[in-house]
Structure 1
Amino acid sequence: MRALVWHGPKDIRCDTVPDPAIEHPRDAIVRITSTAICGSDLHLYDGFMPGMENGDVMGHEPMGEVVEVGAEARGKLKVGDRIVVPFTITCGQCDQCQRRNYSVCEMTNRNKEVADKVFGHTTAGLFGYTHLTGGYQGGQAEYLRVPFADSTHVKVSGSIPDEKVLFLSDILPTGWQAAVQADIQPTDTVAIWGCGPVGQMTIRSAVLLGARQVVAIDDVPERLSMAEAGGATVINLAKESVVERLNDMTGGKGPEKCIDAVGMEAHGTTALTAAYDRAKQAVMAESDRPHVLREMAYVCRPAGTLSVPGVYGGLIDKFPMGMIMNKALTIRTGQTHVNRWTGDLLRRIEEGQLDPSFVITHEVPLDRGPEMYRTFRDKQDGCVKVVLKPWS
């Protein structure tokens, strides 16, 4: 089959690789009809996440048709079922899954011993996302083996286009969880850093959850226009001070809820902090650039909440813990507990409350994937979200 394969930083190729096969009775094989490039994939593309190996298949936002089912998965799946595949692999049986904390499933990371050493305790296995999270092959391919398939799927009807449900795999529940864990109240101003795909879903989630005011921060015109269309007031960080504008909009008190939808490759808004973080990251003195975290902690209203769906990989420098403690700020983070949210979100899509397809700007065949990684990373050609069609 054809797949997008990691050969090193900034080296993604469309290669021919072996077809996947059933390896365990709970497995299923899915023929991928649509798959997407995620902002988190860019951290792998840029070489900032540890644990990638030459030959790894990329991608964790796929959906398609079940073509083979292991014996133990047949009670939940059958050949011909149309499913979205969540990026978090879940056993459905461990203590964390029983508590619906699916992204920290205790059973699905097949490199558990490594994750235990790095993180203190293992997290869930993830598709196409480093050997720290299991080294599972990803979904930017013609076929995908889904382990624990009886619990790692979202079944969808044949009448809904791929584009409306594909993002149940990651960015829609990620944006929703980011907003939910901020505990939004009707009187809240919610400030969201980053208007990429996750930021766009977070904006619409915050609006649906009843925030009084949603503010979106970015410097890419196409993303800001999309955010404004979704109900946000926008701040172009290239043209105005984020801190001053947020204070002006909140009577000097700051937003109650601040959400980081950027993560480890944040750009500083001043030459000094940007150069500092980039230099330290370049020599591996820190793995992540924490500009957004610093700015959120500074501007957030005392006793407010910082919600962090943006991905971080390791160590950061100059993190203002004293500021966070003295302002009584709450920080809530985590990879997304996808299946906790997908039932409600699928219902909202079916009822017309949500149509996540608005975020798609590019839809191309799989073999154009390597070029689209560059286009997406460099924010060229108005690119906000790329969907790949393996069979086009």
Structure 2
Amino acid sequence: MRALAWHGKHDVRVDTVDDPEILNPRDCIIKVTATAICGSDLHLYDHYIPTMQAGDILGHEFMGEVVEVGSKSTLKKGERVVVPFTIACGSCYHCGKHQYSACDNGLPADNQDIGQEMYGQPMAGLFGYSHLTGGYAGGQAEYVRIPFSDVGPIVIPDGIEDEKVLFLSDILPTGWMAAENAQIEPGDTVAVWGCGPVGLFAVQSAFLMGAERVIAIDHFPHRLELAKKFGAETINFEESATYDALMVMTGGIGPDAVIDAVGLEAHGFFVDNVVDQIKASMFLGTDRTHSIRQAIIACRKGGRVSMPAVYGGFVDKFPLGAFMEKGLTLKTGQTHVQHYMPGLLNAIMEGKIDTTFLISHRMDLEEAPKGYKMFHDNQNEVTKVVLKPGLGFAA
């Protein structure tokens, strides 16, 4: 089959690789009909996430048709499914609490030592996202093996096109959980750092959860315009000082809740961000954490901090004093996708949530390397690239 493989920093290629096979009775194999490039994939593209190996198949946002099932799979051949990016067994302690992204059994035993050493406990298994998360082959491919297929994938009813439901795999539940973690109350003002896909879904979700005002922060004009379509007020951080603007907009109090949807590769010519970039280039540091620092400083006293953004290592200059003195609460983590998929699918079918607005480009899987470069280099114009095996053209 054909699949997009990682070969090094800024080097991804569509290779011919072995077809996947059923390895466990709970497995299934799907034929991919749509997959997408996630902002998190760019961290792999930039080689910020460790333990990548040449030939690793990328992609964690995908859906397709079931073509083969193990003896204990609950799926049937021919069913259309969206696959959560988190791999969960459904029966461990954490799965019992619906904390699927913390599953104890989603990570192969020979991969658990890495996470244990880095984070104190192993991470969950994820599709196409390094050997730190299991080394699973991802979905930017013609076919994918799905472990625990009786727990993860959700069956899509006939008549609903792929593009309306594809983002159930990751970014829609991630944006929703980000807003939920912000513990939004009616009348709240919520500030969202980053108007990429997750940030835009967080904006949409915050309004659906009862926020009175949502303030979206970015420097890409097109993305800020998309946020405005949902009713958000906006701050372009290249034109205004974000903290000062937020204080004016909130009467000096600060937002009730803040959401960091930027993560470890924060943009902007700020002193702390420049220092972070220098440290990273000299292997003295990992993450660029300007956005979470700024969110904590701007949040009102007693407010809530939600951090769906990806961070990978150790950070310094963290405003721990402000966090403690202001009495803030922080909630974060990989998304418990399986928990949110049914409700969000219903919301899509009822027309309460729109997802297709985000798609800017559709490309054949063979053009995936071009799609990565476009997304990496032109984030104002490129909001979401959807890849389809056999599409035959780019749009």
Shared fold, TM over 0.5: yes
Identity rate of aligned residues, in percent? 52
Cross-structure match for 1:282: 281
Counterpart in 1 of 2:85?
87
5+ residue gaps, structure 1? none
CA contact (8 A) 1:128 1:135 kept: yes
Are positions 1:369 and 2:368 aligned together?
yes
1:152-204 deviation per Cα after TM superposition (whole angstroms, max 9, x unaligned): 11111121010000000000000000000110011211000000011111010
Are the aligned partners of 2:273 and 2:289 in contact in 1 as well (CA < 8 Å)?
no
Q: 1:109 aligns with which of 84, 100, 107?
A: 107
What is the CA–CA distance in structure 2 between the aligned matches of 1:268 and 1:286, rounded to whole Å? 18
Q: Which residue of 2 aligns with 1:78?
A: 76
Runs of at least 5 residues in structure 2 that lack an aligned partner in the other structure? none
> Does structure 2 retain, via aligned residues, the 8 Å contact 1:243–1:299?
yes
RMSD (Å), alpha carbons: 0.9
Note the C-alpha offset of 1:391: 2.1
Whole-angstrom distance in 1 between the partners of 2:138 and 2:365: 13
Counterpart in 2 of 1:69? Answer: 69
* Structure 2 CA distance for partners of 1:299 and 1:380, relative to 1, 3 Å: closer
**Aligned counterpart, 2:158:** 158
Indicate the residue corresponding to 1:379 in structure 2. 378
Give 3-state SS (helix, strand or coil) of 2:352's partner.
coil
Tell me which residue corresponds to 1:55.
55
| Contact preservation (8 Å) 1:375, 1:381 | no
Aligned equivalents of 1:221, 1:163: Cα separation in 2: 24
Which residue of 2 is the match for residue 388 of structure 1? Answer: 387
Instruction: Give how far 1:51 is off.
Output: 1.1
In structure 1, the partner of 2:25 is: 25
> Please, what TM-score do these two structures have when normalized by structure 1?
0.98
CA–CA separation in structure 2 for the residues paired with 1:134 and 1:7: 18
Which is further off, 261-270 or 44-53? Answer: 261-270
Match of 1:37 in 2: 37
Equivalence for 2:352: 353
Q: Which moved more, 1:107-116 or 1:339-348?
A: 107-116
Q: Deviations over 1:271-330 (max 9, x none)?
A: x22321110111121110010011011111011111000000111121111110111111
Q: Aligned residue pairs: how many?
A: 389
Aligned to 1:310: 309
Corresponding position: 1:300 with 2:305: no
Contact 2:221 2:380 in 1 (8 A): no
What is the SS of the residue equivalent to 1:71? coil
Residue 334 of structure 2 aligns with which residue?
335
Task: Report the equivalent of 1:266.
Answer: 266
C-alpha displacement of 1:348: 0.3
Seen in structure 2, the aligned counterparts of structure 1 residues 69 and 181 have a Cα distance that, compared at 3 Å, is: same
Cα deviation 1:350-375 (Å, max 9, x = unaligned):
00001211100001101111011111
Residues in 1 aligned to 2:380 and 2:104: alpha-carbon distance in whole angstroms: 41
Tell me, yes or no, if structure 1 residue 230 matches structure 2 residue 230: yes
Query: Aligned residue for 2:124?
Result: 124
Is the 8 Å Cα contact of residues 22 and 28 (structure 1) preserved in structure 2? Answer: yes
Deviating 4+ runs (over 6 angstroms): none
CA distance in 2, matches of 1:158, 1:118: 44
Measure how far apart 1:116 and its partner are. 1.7
Deviations 1:13-44 (A, max 9, x none): 11111110101111100000000000000000
In 1, the alpha carbon distance for the partners of 2:153 and 2:82 equals 6
1:321 paired with 2:320, answer yes
Contact 1:142-1:391 at 8 Å conserved across structures: no
2:379, 2:286 → 1: CA distance? 26
Asked if structure 2 preserves the Cα contact closer than 8 Å seen for 1:191 and 1:259, the reply is: yes
In 2: Cα distance, 1:63 partner to 1:296 partner: 34
Give the equivalent residue in structure 1 for 2:189. Answer: 189
Deviation at 1:381, TM superposition (A): 7.1
Please tell me whether the aligned partners of residues 257 and 300 of structure 1 are also in contact (alpha carbons under 8 angstroms): yes
Letter in 1 for 2:212: R
Is the 2:106–2:125 Cα contact (8 Å) retained in structure 1? yes
Contact between 1:28 and 1:68, CA under 8 Å: does it hold in 2? yes
Residues of 2 paired with 1:269 and 1:254: CA distance? 23
- C-alpha displacement of 1:377: 1.0
Cα distance in 1, alignment partners of residues 180 and 156 from structure 2: 24
SS at match of 1:135: coil
Q: Distance in 2 between matches of 1:237 and 1:279?
A: 21
**How many Å apart are 1:380 and its aligned residue?**
5.3
